Structure formats: structure tokens, C-alpha cells
Amino acid sequence: MNQSAQPQPPSWFSIEGAAFPLGVTWMADEQAYNFAIYSKHATAVSLLLFDELNLRQPVLRLELDHLVNKSGRIWHARVSRKDAPDAKFYGYQIDGPRGGQHFDLHAFDAEKLLLDPYATEVYFPEEFEREAAMRPGCNLGKAPLGVLPDQVDKFDWGDSNCRFHEHDLVIYEMHVRGFTMNPNSGVAAIRRGTFLGVIDKIPYLKQLGVTAVELLPVHQFDPQENNYWGYMTLNFFAPHAQYATKPGGALEEFRTMVRALHDADIEVIVDVVFNHTAEGNQFGPSYSFKGIDNSTYYITSGSPSQPYVNYSGTGNTLHCKNRYVGRMILDSLRAWVQVGHVDGFRFDLASIFNRHADGSVSLEDSRIVSAIRADPVLGKVRLIAEPWDAAGLYQLGRAFPGKRWFQWNGRFRDDMRRFVKSDPGLVTALMCRVYGSDDLFPDDLAEACHPYQSVNYINSHDGFTLYDQVSYNQRHNWDNGEENRDGHGDDHSWNCGWEGDKDAPSDVLQLRRQQAKNFCALLMLSAGTPMFTAGDEFLNSQGGNNNPYNQDNETAWVDWSRLKQNSDFHRFFRLMIAFRKSHPTIARSRFWRNDVRWYGTDGDVDTSYESRRVAFFLDGQSQDDVDLYVMINSHWDDATFVVQEGVDPSWKLVVDTSCESPHDIYEPGCEPKWTASEFPVKSRSVVVLTR
């Protein structure tokens, strides 16, 4: 008898559901959905499916039986499409132990409708209410829901591809909504502040010359939390629904944006926040993680008055050392690479990865950092750390366990700010930063770091804009509602002699533009990876607000009218980017070493406390490139620099930040010759010669 001809019994997984993969998965061969969710301490789990007509009454409610629908610590179920043909959304209700302390601090509420942490798209009902998640009891009809995935992924990536930029990598930090939300952006009203709105600005990005955009958080965040920046994550797998032009379109429109940017040879890096969530402290909402398994997801203190540890400064800290949380982080990152085709990640407050549950720090190794780099998918993308946290842990440079990661270089930011505003005792520090910060990223035998690991920046979303950096001595954050106490207390800024723009004298305004050009020039002339914030290239202003995290208005939106108003400065910025990209001698894989020689105005470098001048010669022969001679004067007096590489009729003047446009930077082929042995460098200016 042919045994193979006998009918086979139904698969166990078809009856019970499968524990892998987590989240909801369409099983085409069965015309069914598989659901899987982790909860170590749950005693009862219910799966609820809803249609579009009634979000208060589920079309299907399935009580999971641990003897059928649980494997280890994962609850699972299989639901045939025919059992809920009109279902569009889903959520969970979960019960478990009450109270507890420290590692057993629970927040179960059997009536609370909870969002699946692995939902790939989030739906917000018209009656969505944050307050309902902050109260105990039922929140049906007012809770965010997971969206059941399409049965077939029809998105066409075409031939979209983007090369991995090296010497020409220039990162543009951008807030998706703020980039085009201003009516003067020139973007159609329906597309302003959306993923599709970014597409409309791609011709501008190409003309500017940037080769990567670093997007402030695009994970789904709480739309009612009053956090415009997006650093209050509600879900780590779904794109922010409010950045779409239509309901249910976030994932498709995000991928459409990525495809268009890749077609323009622009990489996409996303800012991810795996250090905390939108659920806050004990008074915050219970949307998802708290109600599913509080003690798994969060680091707890054992203190009745402050039960959640707050290394993030936002009320809670994600328990990244927990094996399951680490798995969720890796799964999220892989999904954004494989489904969203992103090219890299910037990790907000990445040092929290190195915190143990008791707050101690892992200095030598981090399980999650090692797992990310070892992953075959994630090992191929850019990984950028913000190497500190909000509780004082600072791991910039070799102290961060991700040895090959890029890092936001806060020392570059601070030293450059202080040097340009003429603080004393900074010549040595300036030389180190321009060289690529080898004190932080050493290339000795043991470490073998690269200069490109240093992400150099003067300004980011977190602090003053470039223009405000040279226009305000003090923060002006009253609109934030915290009595001007929030934001950095000292941005090392200098207003050039007048606070703000109102009635500012013309000589002050001229000096501000010159100082901004100095920052731009030094950023683009330094070894490392340059980054700047959207709008800085045309002197965008936030009116002195250095922490507009809750300003979803014209304070934080990019003001495109300043592009025309400051077209001469924009020209300078654009040409400095082009200059850097056309000269690979600046941005090398390895440090300049013997190709660079440092000078003073006449002779050796003066590194004394009161010195504010330095020059350097960069030999380009090893890179088949031109030679550079750069003279930097941050003193308030003019100075004559001797060109100490000899009089040469082939020297050309490219940059002089003291001059008015178009003589502050010359287009290729239009540079005047410089044959004199000396150059009169004006106060607070940067000069660049090439040959």
C-alpha cells in the first residue's frame, strides 16, 4: 500500500499557530493569519480583530489557551480569513499578576486594548485618546490598532539602488515633517510634511550636493504626546502614520520616498530610539509594552515613588540587556533594511545599550552592539552612535563598544564652536579635530580606527541652528512652556555683539554671515564625515530656540524664504560641499599622517594659550589630487600669513570667507592665481589655496 497516498493530518501549526515569526504574518497557502506575541508573565491573552465599521466591538475575539496557543513565553494563534473576512485591524488584551516590585513590577490590565509591538502599520481611530491609555480600564475604540498586512506585497522597487558613498559622503539631517511643512516650501499642500513631500525636494538636494539624508525618527510615535521631533516611540516596526498623505499609506509612501532618494544616489539613514518609549513613567499611558510585559521591557528601580529608571530623560528606559528586547531591536532593524531598504541607522543615546539592569555599565562589551554588527543583514549598513545617554554616561571614541561604528563627535562640535568664537587655548584642539580626531579614534595597532568614523558637525536638531549659533548668546525657549529652563544651557554660541535680529546693526549681520561661512569651511575641510542640519545651508533660524522638541509650527519648520534671502550664503555652502567632494585628499579612509604639515603665521604653530591662528598644508599627491594650503584666523585682528610651502605660480585662491559673494569662493576654473609669498588674512576668516 502506498503510504504517501494517505491523507496527512492537519499541521500542528495550522491548528495552534506558530511561535515564529513574531507579529502577524499572512499564510497564503492556508489563507490565514498567524499571530505571535511574547509575554513572560501573562496569565491570559485575548486576540481581538476589528472591521472598519465598529472599533468598539471586535468581529472576532479569541481567548488563547496556554495548552494550545503558547510555546515557551510566546503566545500564538492561527486565524483563517474566512472566520473574519472583514477584519482590518487587531489588538490584544492581556492579564497577569498585579503590583510587584523591581524586577517583578507588573502593569497588567485585562480590559486594556494593547498594540502589538511587531505591528508593521498602526491605525489611529477617530476617537483615539492618549488619556484613555493613562486611565485603568477599557479603551476600546480609543486605542491604536495594528493593521493586518496586505496579502500580497505589490511594491515595486524597480532597479532602485544606491551606492555606498565614501569620500563624498555628506550627511543632511532632516525632519520629514519640518522639511516641507512650511507653506513657502513650494510643495503642494496635500504633500507638505510627508514622505512624498521629501520627494518633491530631491532636485534641491541634488543641486546642494548632499549624498545621504539622516531622518529624525520615522518610527510610529505618539501623535498626542506633544513631541514634534518624534523621540517618543510607540512602535518600532511601523512608519509614522501621520507622515503619509492618506490613511493606511505610511509604509508604501515611505518606501516610495526611499526608492526616489536611491534613484537620485542619496542614501537614507534613519534615527532610531531604542532607549525609551512613549509610555513614560508610572503616570504615562499603557499603549503596548507596559500592558504586555512591563518587567521585560523596562528597567525598574525598586523605588515606590520612582519605579522606572530614567537614563533617557523621558521617564523610562528600555531594558536592552533583556534577551527578548534585544531580539526585538534586531528584528526591527532587519525589517527596516529588508522591507524599507534603508542604508543605515543613527542610534539615539546609544550608550544605554551598555547599561545593565542595575545601572552599571558594560565597558568592554555590549551584547546588543555585538549582535548588530555580527548580523549578516545589519553588518552591511551604516551604524552611527550618539555615544552618550541622559544620565551622564559618555563613551565618545574608543570607549564605545561598537569599534567600527560611526559616532556623532560632540568634541568636534564643541571645540569648533569655541575656536571660531575666539575662545583661547584651542589651537591644539582645532588641529586634532581637523585631522580627524585621532585622540578619540586612534589608528594604532590595537584600535586601527578610521577618520570617517567621526561624524563631524557644528549643529544638529538638538540645539541652535547654525544661524542662531552666531546670533544668540542665550537660549530663548519660552514658547516650549518650561519657563526657559529646557535645552542646553551653554551652546558655546556668540551673537557677534547683538542678541537676536531685531535692530541688529549691519556690521553685526555681516560678521554673522562670515562666522557661519567659517563654520561651513572648517566642517568641509576636516577629515571625517560631515553632517549638517536642513536649512543651515541658507541660515534658517528658530528665533533662538535651542530645544524646539514640541514646536510643530513655523518655529521649527524650515523657512524656505531664507533660501532666496540668503542665496549668496547658500552658494558658498553648496560650493564648499562640491569642493570637498571633488578633492578626495580631504576625506580619506586613513589619517593624513605625513601628508599634512602644520604651520603658524610665519614658522611653527603657536600653541600658546592666547594663540588663535594656524595653517596647514595637505599634500594631495598620494591621492592623485591637488595640494591645499589652509590659513585659519579666529583672532579679532587681521594677520599676515607666510605661505610656507614656497612661492609657486600655480597657487590659486579658492576660498576667502572675509570676502563678499562671489569672491568668498570661486567656481572651478575661475580661481585667481596667487603668486605672493604672503597672504593678508582678515580677522575671523578662513583662506584656502590650491595648486
CATH number at residue 640: 2.60.40.1180
In a domain, 541, yes or no: no
Place of cell 524656505: 560
Residue 348 falls in the annotated catalytic set: yes
Beta-bridge partners for 173: 214, 533
Show which of 147, 171, 197 is a domain's final residue: 147
Residue 550's pLDDT is 97
How far apart (Å, rounded) are the C-alpha atoms in residues 356 and 358? 5
Tell me which of 16, 386, 536, 625 is the catalytic residue.
386
Task: Compute CA distances 240 → 139, 206, 230, whole Å.
Answer: 22, 25, 9
Under a CB-based contact definition with an 8 Å cutoff, are residues 649 and 660 in contact?
no
Q: What is the pLDDT of residue 151?
A: 80
The pair phi, psi for residue 624, each rounded to 5°, is: 55, 45
Catalytic, out of 348, 536, 537, 552: 348
pLDDT number for residue 390: 86
| Predicted pLDDT of residue 608 | 98
Residue that is last in its domain, among 147, 162, 187: 147
502 domain-assigned: no
Q: Has 386 been annotated as catalytic?
A: yes
Segments of the chain scoring below 50 in pLDDT: 1
Do 106 and 97 touch, CB atoms closer than 8 A? Answer: yes
CATH of the domain at 141: 2.60.40.10
pLDDT at 103: 78
Number of structural domains (the chain) is 2
User: CB count, 10 Å around CB of 677?
Assistant: 11
Domain-located, residue 280: no
Q: Is residue 318 part of a domain?
A: no
Measured torsion, CA atoms of residues 576, 581, 586, 588, in degrees rounded to the nearest 10:
150
Q: What is the pTM of this model?
A: 0.96
In a domain, 234, yes or no: no
Cell of 602: 610665519
- Does residue 377 sit within a domain? no
SS3 labels along 266-299: CEEEEEECCCCCCCCCCCCCCCCHHHHHHHHHEC
Encode 123-180 in three state secondary structure: ECCCCCCHHHHHCCCCCCCCCCEEECCCCCCCCCCCCCCCCCCCCCCCEEEECHHHHH
- Cα of first residue to Cα of last residue in the chain, in angstroms, is 88
Determine the pLDDT at residue 561.
Answer: 98
Sign of CA dihedral 404, 410, 412, 413: positive
Where in the sequence is the domain holding 609, given as residue range(s)?
593-690
Is residue 187, in this structure, part of any structural domain at all? no
> How much is the pLDDT for 2?
57
Q: Which residue has the cell 505618539?
A: 222
Residue where a domain terminates, one of 117, 147, 177: 147
Is 33 within a domain? yes
